Amino acid sequence: MTRNARRNRGILRYWMVLGVLMTAFASLAMRAVYLQTLSSNYLQRQGDARYLRTVTDNAHRGMILDRNGEPFAVSTPVESVWAHPATFAEVRREWRPLLTLLGLNATEVARQLRKHTGREFMYLKRHIPPDIAERVTALNIPGVYLQREYRRYYPTGAVSGHVIGFTDIDDQGQEGLELTYNDRLRATQGTRRVLKDLHGNIVETVEIVSLPVPGRDLVISIDKRIQYLTYRELKSAMQRYGAHAATAVVLDAQSGEVLALVNQPAFNPNNRTNLRSTLFRNRAVTDVFEPGSTMKPFTIAVALESGLFGYDSKIDTTPGRFQVGSKIIHDARNYGLLSLGQVIEKSSNVGAARIAMALDKERMWSMFRNVGFGETTGSQLPAESAGLLNLPSRWVPMDQAHVAFGYGISVTALQLARAYTALANDGVVMPLTLLRRDHAVHGLRVMSAVTARHIRDMLELAVSEAGTGTEAQVQHYRVAGKTGTVHKLVAGDYAEDRYIASFAGMAPASRPRLVMVVTMDEPSEGAHFGGQVAAPVFSGVMSGALRLLNVPPDTPTERFQWAAPADGRSPT
């Protein structure tokens, strides 16, 4: 090959190599332009999908405070352990100390990992104590992290369990006021976008989307001091008399605020072990019972309002029994001729039935409905029952006679307490609330003030030495109230040896500040009448509550003189 031929071939190879390189560079340039301009949005989305994540920031739930600012429910910060499934699966040899620390089973964790394949997050253990959280961090296992959450704590425990309720592990209300006011109490999570590496570690916070917002505090009407007092007295009485269950409700007669609400047996919302619905059921609003003789004051009120009877009217109860249709109504003995007040004092069923049979049943029904029987109280507590008050069109004569002394009608303890506010508040029944009221509210007038005062006078007789509620007396205070004892309905029939005993009353009788209802379900140890098992609870609670509220006595003695507060203000 000649020199010229070799040179020409060299030149050709040069241009060929140069052409290939230029083509490659052109292709790279075109690809770069394509990626940087035409496909930039798509690629950015793909990158974000792999490394950009939205995470949540938790805030605490609002506190529940008693009327004086004392806490009933607070949220405390805790840590929860979570894992990045893919990373955690790769370090299985390092699991053992972690699982031992958290009390987890390796087989179950492996099963959960398989369920979370392809995901970025998996809880291992929620709400662990601070010392455990520190030890988890010290293990430094790849793919394992801590997340700040909040756990609900109830300082008063079983004392307020039924009224406050509780939340689930996600801090959502499940029972009681926690459920009723969940929307107000719950926090709003914050969100932020972060960059994460291959192992789920946060590299950088890119953007704060929204800030976490704590829940709002809730100030309720309950007075923690009176709640404690009521809990102690009710628990003691239930144990003493071997009752199946018991309930007590204390109201501010003038404002309609619920100051205490207690059920027994109680439950501790801080301990969910073996928690059953029978324990956390709020019997004060869910369980109904026949009120028995605690209903008689309202029958007498209808009689006085009708104009057919006066305060001094006499009722002949001779010979201690009264036949209505095929049924015979009995008294404990033949009381003979009784005044209206004595019908309540002696708790005469015959007297109440004779009065009722002389009244218009529509008028009776209207009074009972106006004081709140047959409808919920408006407390907004979960699963509240409306009770039972049949329409008067369905009453036969026996129904009209029976309802006069509390049979054939069903009420809740909270309903009965609300009804008694009408007697305590000069004929005005007050709307109930479990929130603290800072302003006066208007109630519904259901009877004249004169009638209400007459009924209070009669109820004072019922707790006198000659009445059935002697055990409800409170030293230095006048008390008005009524006992009730009914046979318990079991499978549609009245059980001969099973009772519900109750007491409903108010103090001080001259100007009632507090109304209280106590019920005992199936007392079985030595006594079963309302005056024996329920009235003493009323006395024990009122003795302390009236003094806690600085209510002046209305029967001062030489040995006890009421002293006004040092600042000169009138006691409330």
Give the C-alpha distances (Å, rounded to integers) separating 114 from 91, 97, 100, 199, 329.
15, 21, 21, 18, 72
Mean pLDDT value of segment 132-151: 89
In this prediction, residue 568 has a pLDDT band, given cuts at 50, 70 and 90, of very low
* pLDDT tens, position by position, 208-245: 777 888 999 999 999 999 999 999 999 999 999 999 99
In this prediction, residue 147 has a pLDDT band, given cuts at 50, 70 and 90, of confident
Q: In three state form, how does the secondary structure of 234-301 look? A: HHHHHHHHCCCEEEEEEEECCCCEEEEEEEECCCCCCCCCCCCHHHHCCHHHHCCECCHHHHHHHHHH
* pLDDT tens, position by position, 308-351: 999 889 999 999 999 998 889 999 999 999 999 999 999 999 99
Structural contact between residues 409 and 513, judged by C-beta atoms closer than 8 angstroms: no
| Cα 558 from Cα 186, distance rounded (Å) | 55
Q: Which of 407, 408, 418 is nearest to 384 (CA)?
A: 418
Catalytic annotation on 510?
no
Q: Which of 185, 244, 174, 260 is nearest to 217 (CA)?
A: 185
Structural contact between residues 38 and 182, judged by C-beta atoms closer than 8 angstroms: no
* pLDDT tens, position by position, 153-168: 999 999 999 999 999 9
Instruction: Indicate whether 50 pLDDT > 80.
Output: no
Structural contact between residues 449 and 255, judged by C-beta atoms closer than 8 angstroms: no
* Average pLDDT for the chain: 88
* pLDDT tens, position by position, 358-393: 999 999 999 999 999 999 999 999 999 999 999 999
**Of the options 3.40.50.450, 3.40.710.10, 1.10.150.240, 1.20.1260.10, the CATH number for the domain spanning 224-269+281-548:** 3.40.710.10
Cis before 392 (ω within 30): no
Residue 33 is predicted with a pLDDT of: 66
Instruction: Report the SS3 class of residue 486.
Output: strand
Residue scoring higher pLDDT (518 or 107): 518
Give the C-alpha distances (Å, rounded to integers) separating 191 from 59, 208, 379.
11, 6, 36
Placement of tokens 């299985």 in the chain = 92
Give domain limits for the chain: 54-113+122-219, 224-269+281-548
Instruction: Indicate whether 198 pLDDT > 60.
Output: no
Residues 6 or more apart whose CB falls under 8 angstroms from that of 348 comprise 315, 317, 331, 335, 338, 342
Mean pLDDT value of segment 416-433: 97
**CA angle centred on 555, ends 554 and 556, rounded to 5°:** 105
Q: Quick one: how far is CA 216 from the chain centroid? A: 17
| Cα 448 from Cα 427, distance rounded (Å) | 5
| Cα 148 from Cα 36, distance rounded (Å) | 40
| Cα 514 from Cα 506, distance rounded (Å) | 6
Structural contact between residues 186 and 171, judged by C-beta atoms closer than 8 angstroms: yes
Percent of the chain residues past pLDDT 70, beyond the cut: 89
Residue 54 is predicted with a pLDDT of: 67
In this prediction, residue 148 has a pLDDT band, given cuts at 50, 70 and 90, of confident
Instruction: Indicate whether 553 pLDDT > 80.
Output: yes
Residue 3 is predicted with a pLDDT of: 67
Residue 204 is predicted with a pLDDT of: 61
Fold: same for 54-113+122-219 and 224-269+281-548: no
Placement of tokens 């307020």 in the chain = 160
Instruction: Indicate whether 29 pLDDT > 90.
Output: no
Which one from 80, 221, 255, 293 is the annotated catalytic residue? 293
- The tokens describing 251, both together, are 């109201």
* pLDDT tens, position by position, 476-486: 999 999 999 99
Q: In three state form, how does the secondary structure of 396-434 look? A: CHHHHHHHHCCCCCEECHHHHHHHHHHHHCCCEECCCEC
**Of the options 3.20.20.70, 3.40.50.970, 1.25.40.10, 3.90.1310.10, the CATH number for the domain spanning 54-113+122-219:** 3.90.1310.10
